[in-house]
């Protein structure tokens, strides 16, 4: 049953509350005077109303809303006890018809207690309970226009938003919202870009250069006897309102620290009621900031309840250290094999994958207990029709998730309502097709991971890919992220990259990053060969979960150190990273909650002593050591830390006989599924006899349970014959079946796979775990008509057509990456009317059916790239090479290619790069034709 109907978005202002408990107590409308618990206003010309949290305690957070009697302007002050933390923040909206920043009059105030209860599939805490007080201030402004200010106060921060209720429609032209910070307050700020990948730097609120800054923005403020930190961001985004940023006019440390909310679009057109995102301030010490769930607390509840199909996990990924490897089927199998051997859940195939071999890779991986994720450009799934087609095909292949990239460009405002509408549409479509999502080149997390539980992670961070651009991440930068970017949602930094020689931090620092940085999909970004040379790192990565029950701050300060602990079940994983000279770190295990008389087993991984000066292990040598300690539950560990170093600790109860916190690494038994025939050629209406035999592989000792074997043809194809099933399949036993598969009369020419699937429960698997899926397929060619006479290849039905960049073009050059954007085919100054425009690596197949005798073409690099580019051409008949060229370059003219194709059923035209990368490799098969009977 579909999870959703047609793609669409929620009406403005609606919120699902499946996991939200609202305890409401509406107060008397007589709220035009200060509330009884309000402080005496410092400015007696203002009315002030206090919003206090539901859990009363000493030095609690409160929010004071003030309305200036003389101007009718609103402001908000956040206090810790009696001390202002975030003072005099201006509030209000401007619309095309009314200025709602001045001349406001309070009509009513209503309060309620809100308790958010929900479960996350990702994040720093799986189960969340967050009590808040909400106050709604109903205001009347210019022309009698109504505006509500809604304020929420929680134990870890304050948030507010504006609502325009009972509106026949409006156009917002801006906000008066801003924050007034002490000029000398230390600040950790990110210059704003739509992809949030600039370098965050330490400055001061007043000393930061004039300009725009991205969320989250962290400030350190003096408040009473202890310092407070304020992290500014936004939450509860939807497609009715654009994103925003912080605009700062520099005034110097002795001037002002004013930061105003600037919208990404000049106008916001709303057809009816309007609710803005929550302007969010997380407030407290560094423990409160790093452990906060306020961003997801403020977000709408989950759009669907069944999350059983959502599986976060560890992902093998080749692109960072081998940019061309996603084009290489055999190399991707190496990454699958590594994931399978180490119990990792996924392999991500990044830019360059081919439709020709991905289905086979998926089958190869799933038989080994590994699922495949695929990379896409966002404009490849830009419309509902594209989403349904692409994601439906991924379901047919068995792909389990998508990494979607470059939302920061491709037309339109990347933080505008149109792009946010696309985010909602693609999340609805991927949920419909049960695909996990990883957003890259994207906006910042703003609560959508609660609303859409299959959204595993975002980039929106300068991650490890910058090493390959020769812009290494510094240890100082690394220690800022846990207190800033990663507070508001999962961050796909892709840590665990040991082979980068431009690294300036140690192996233990690098190993700690997947603990310190939370991500629902964690991508250790190095090669199997590198990890094999780092056994201690490998051991930690094999144990590391990506779903956490809770997170605790244990120490550090942005730019200097970060020590975080994350719990999964009974085990705590502690990660510490350091910037600066060698020293020692004190780790208070008492914060993990164990009783004083409880004994804990601690397994500590640090840098070798000679690694104190930097990344001695960057060449792949093992620079890590492990030691075990048994300590009291409230012990303070003194951990030696190398220069720019770090550490990882696994902590678990020290039970009798227990020598390690490691859990066994579960791997999938080796099996064999044989299917006949391997290939077939058929016409619409034909029937194909298919058989399958499934058994454990030779030498495998595992017993398989709940085994089922059957044919699973795609929609429109049918299979007669029952599934074969056995409750237990022991070593040496086999399960066999046979089926008659019928090709539908409506089948289009081309290749179609008829899968035969075996599913079983692996040893040790729980009932809630998905079965292991083993699949082989009969490759069926539904034959198009054979060509007659002299036929241009571009006029025939292309059975397959893959390209290294953009689509294969017919009768034009490849041009750019869009369909139909090529120019006339031109080689060496000669223009050709007919042919194919390709880009290395490329592969095109057409059906000849044994009816043709000769193939001819003029080949070369298209003139549109000048003297650049280098390619080679091959012609194959039924898989056998018939003709080939050497390397041709942009300065070369056209070269003739001929081949004898007598008796050939399938003709294949391949283009390879010249060995120097694929840039500018625009290859033309000009005047390509076959001579047939």
Distance CA 325, CA 336 (A): 13
Q: Are 827 and 925 in contact (CB under 8 A)?
A: no
**Range 476-505 average pLDDT:** 97
Kindly tell me if the per-residue pLDDT of 32 is higher than 90. no
| Token pair recorded at residue 281 | 């301030």
Tell me the pairing of strands 880-884 and 888-889.
Answer: unpaired
Distances from the Cα of 812 to the Cαs of 145, 725, 791, in angstroms? 58, 53, 17
The pLDDT value recorded for residue 19 is: 36
Indicate the fold that domain 20-297 takes in CATH.
Answer: Beta-galactosidase; Chain A, domain 5 (2.70.98)
Q: What is the pLDDT of residues 144-161, one digit of tens each?
A: 999 999 999 999 999 999
**Range 415-438 average pLDDT:** 97
**Range 768-783 average pLDDT:** 94
The pLDDT value recorded for residue 253 is: 56
The closest of 663, 521, 592 to 123, measured between CA atoms, is 521
Indicate the fold that domain 790-932 takes in CATH.
Answer: Jelly Rolls (2.60.120)
Q: What is the pLDDT of residues 750-768, one digit of tens each?
A: 999 999 999 999 888 887 8
Neighbours of 563 (CB within 10 A): 28
Distance CA 112, CA 132 (A): 9
Clarify whether 597 is annotated catalytic. no
| Token pair recorded at residue 169 | 């429609």
**Range 552-557 average pLDDT:** 97
Q: Are 818 and 906 in contact (CB under 8 A)?
A: no
The pLDDT value recorded for residue 95 is: 95
The pLDDT value recorded for residue 45 is: 60
Q: What is the pLDDT of residues 387-399, one digit of tens each?
A: 999 999 999 999 9
The pLDDT value recorded for residue 223 is: 59
Q: Are 184 and 324 in contact (CB under 8 A)?
A: no
**Pick the catalytic residue: 303, 371, 405, 862?**
405
**Range 794-820 average pLDDT:** 93
Tell me the pairing of strands 226-235 and 211-223.
Answer: antiparallel
Distance CA 400, CA 365 (A): 11
Q: What is the pLDDT of residues 264-286, one digit of tens each?
A: 999 999 999 999 999 999 999 99
5 secondary structure, DSSP code: S
Which residues, at least 6 apart from 416, have a Cβ–Cβ distance to it below 8 Å? 242, 243, 264, 265
Residue spans per domain, the chain: 20-297, 671-782, 790-932
pTM listed for this prediction: 0.90
The pLDDT value recorded for residue 623 is: 87
Kindly tell me if the per-residue pLDDT of 563 is higher than 70. yes
Q: Are 303 and 452 in contact (CB under 8 A)?
A: yes
Q: What is the pLDDT of residues 154-212, one digit of tens each?
A: 999 999 999 999 778 899 999 999 999 999 999 999 999 999 999 999 999 999 999 99
Q: What is the pLDDT of residues 59-75, one digit of tens each?
A: 899 999 999 999 999 99
- Percent of all residues in the chain with a pLDDT value above 70, rounded to a whole number: 93
Q: What is the pLDDT of residues 226-241, one digit of tens each?
A: 689 999 999 999 999 9
Q: What is the pLDDT of residues 467-489, one digit of tens each?
A: 999 999 999 999 999 999 999 99
Sole residue written with tokens 């991971």:
449
Phi-psi category of residue 831: left, alpha or beta, with phi > 0 → left and psi -120 to 50 → alpha? beta
| Token pair recorded at residue 534 | 């780092």
The pLDDT value recorded for residue 26 is: 34
Sole residue written with tokens 């997380």:
282
DSSP three-state, residue 501: coil
Distance CA 633, CA 625 (A): 24
Clarify whether 405 is annotated catalytic. yes
Summary mean pLDDT of the chain: 92
Work out the angle at residue 206's Cα, subtended by the Cα atoms of residues 205 and 207, and round it to the nearest 5 degrees.
100
**Pick the catalytic residue: 163, 273, 350, 465?**
465
Beta bridge partners of 690: 739
| Token pair recorded at residue 636 | 């303070």
Kindly tell me if the per-residue pLDDT of 412 is higher than 80. no
Kindly tell me if the per-residue pLDDT of 645 is higher than 50. yes
Could you name the CATH architecture of 671-782? Sandwich (2.60)
């Amino acid at each position: 049953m579909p999870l959703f109907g047609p793609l669409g978005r929620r009406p403005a202002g609606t919120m699902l509350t499946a996991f939200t408990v609202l305890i409401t107590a509406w107060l008397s409308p007589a709220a035009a005077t200060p509330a009884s618990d309000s402080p005496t206003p410092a400015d007696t010309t203002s009315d002030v109303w206090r919003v206090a949290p539901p859990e009363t305690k000493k030095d609690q957070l409160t929010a004071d809303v003030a309305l200036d009697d003389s101007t009718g302007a609103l402001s908000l002050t956040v206090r810790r006890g009696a001390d202002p933390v975030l003072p005099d923040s201006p509030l209000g909206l401007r619309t095309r018809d009314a200025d709602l920043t001045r001349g406001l009059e309070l009509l009513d105030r209503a309060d309620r207690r809100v308790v958010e209860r929900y479960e996350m599939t990702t994040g720093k805490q799986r189960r969340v309970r967050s009590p808040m007080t909400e106050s709604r201030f109903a205001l009347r402004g210019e022309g009698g226009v109504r505006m509500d200010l809604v304020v929420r106060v929680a134990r870890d921060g304050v948030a507010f938003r504006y609502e325009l209720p009972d509106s026949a429609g409006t156009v917002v032209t801006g906000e008066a919202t801003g924050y007034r910070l002490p000029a000398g307050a230390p600040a950790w700020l990110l210059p704003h870009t739509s992809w949030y990948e600039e370098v965050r730097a330490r400055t001061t609120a007043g000393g930061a250069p004039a300009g725009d800054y991205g969320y989250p923005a962290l400030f350190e403020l003096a408040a009473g006897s202890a310092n407070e930190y304020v992290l500014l961001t936004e939450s509860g985004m939807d497609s009715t309102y654009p994103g925003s940023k912080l605009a700062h006019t520099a005034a110097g440390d002795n001037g002002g620290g004013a930061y105003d909310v600037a919208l990404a679009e000049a106008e916001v057109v709303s057809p009816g009621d309007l609710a803005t995102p929550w302007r969010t301030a997380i407030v407290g010490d560094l423990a409160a900031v790093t452990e906060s769930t306020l961003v997801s607390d403020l977000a709408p509840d989950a759009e669907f309840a069944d999350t059983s199909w959502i599986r976060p996990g560890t992902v093998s990924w080749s692109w960072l250290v081998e940019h061309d490897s996603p084009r290489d089927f055999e190399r991707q199998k190496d990454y699958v094999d590594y994931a399978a051997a180490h119990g990792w859940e996924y392999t991500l195939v990044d830019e360059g994958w081919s439709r020709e071999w991905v289905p086979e890779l998926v089958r190869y991986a799933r038989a080994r207990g590994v699922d495949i994720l695929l990379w896409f450009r966002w404009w490849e799934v830009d419309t509902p029709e594209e989403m349904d087609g692409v994601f439906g095909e991924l379901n047919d292949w068995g792909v389990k998730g998508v990494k979607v990239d470059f939302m920061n460009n491709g037309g339109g405002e990347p933080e505008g309502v149109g792009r946010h509408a696309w985010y909602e549409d693609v999340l609805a479509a991927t949920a419909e097709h049960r695909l996990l999502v990883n957003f890259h080149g994207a906006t910042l997390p703003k609560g959508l991971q609660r609303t859409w539980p299959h959204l595993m992670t975002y980039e929106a961070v300068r991650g490890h890919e910058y090493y390959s651009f020769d812009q290494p991440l510094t240890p100082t930068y690394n220690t800022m992220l846990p207190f800033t970017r990663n507070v508001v949602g999962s961050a796909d930094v892709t840590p665990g990259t040991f082979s980068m020689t431009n690294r300036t931090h140690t192996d233990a620092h690098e190993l700690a990053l997947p603990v310190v940085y939370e991500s629902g999909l964690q991508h250790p970004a190095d090669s199997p060969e590198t990890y094999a040379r780092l056994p201690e790192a490998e051991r930690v990565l094999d144990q590391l979960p990506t779903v956490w029950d809770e997170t605790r701050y244990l120490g550090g300060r942005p730019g200097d150190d970060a020590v975080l602990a994350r719990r999964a079940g009974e085990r705590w994983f502690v990660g510490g990273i350091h910037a600066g000279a060698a020293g020692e770190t004190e780790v208070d295990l008492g914060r993990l909650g164990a009783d004083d008389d409880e004994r804990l087993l601690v397994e500590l991984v640090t840098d070798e002593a000679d690694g104190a000066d930097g990344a001695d292990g960057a060449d792949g040598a093992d620079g890590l050591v492990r030691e075990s300690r048994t300590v009291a539950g409230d012990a303070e560990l003194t951990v030696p830390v190398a220069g720019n170093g770090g550490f990882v600790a696994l902590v678990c109860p020290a039970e009798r006989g227990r020598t390690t916190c490691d859990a066994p690494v579960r791997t999938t038994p080796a099996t064999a599924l044989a299917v006949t025939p391997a290939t077939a050629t058929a016409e619409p209406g034909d029937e194909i006899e298919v058989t399958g035999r499934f058994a454990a592989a030779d030498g495998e000792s595992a017993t398989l349970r709940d085994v089922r074997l059957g044919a699973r043809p795609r929609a429109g194809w049918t299979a007669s014959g029952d599934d074969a099933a056995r409750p237990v399949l022991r070593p040496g036993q086999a399960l066999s079946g046979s089926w008659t598969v019928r090709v539908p009369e409506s089948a289009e020419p081309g290749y179609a796979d008829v899968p035969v699937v075996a599913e079983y429960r692996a040893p040790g698997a729980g009932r809630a775990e998905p079965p292991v899926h083993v699949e082989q397929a009969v490759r069926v060619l539904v034959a198009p008509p054979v060509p007659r006479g002299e036929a241009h290849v571009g006029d025939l039905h292309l059975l397959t057509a893959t390209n290294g960049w953009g689509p294969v073009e017919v009768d034009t050059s490849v041009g750019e990456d869009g369909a139909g954007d090529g120019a006339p085919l031109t080689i060496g100054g000669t223009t050709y009317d007919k042919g194919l425009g390709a880009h290395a690596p490329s592969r095109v197949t057409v059906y000849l059916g044994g009816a043709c005798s000769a193939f001819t073409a003029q080949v070369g690099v298209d003139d549109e790239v000048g003297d650049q580019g280098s390619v080679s051409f091959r012609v194959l008949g039924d898989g056998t090479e018939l003709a080939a060229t050497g390397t041709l370059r942009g300065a070369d003219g056209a070269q003739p290619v001929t081949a004898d194709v007598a008796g050939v059923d399938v003709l294949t035209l391949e283009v390879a790069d010249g060995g120097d990368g694929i840039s500018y490799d625009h290859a033309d098969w000009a005047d390509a034709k076959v001579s047939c009977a």
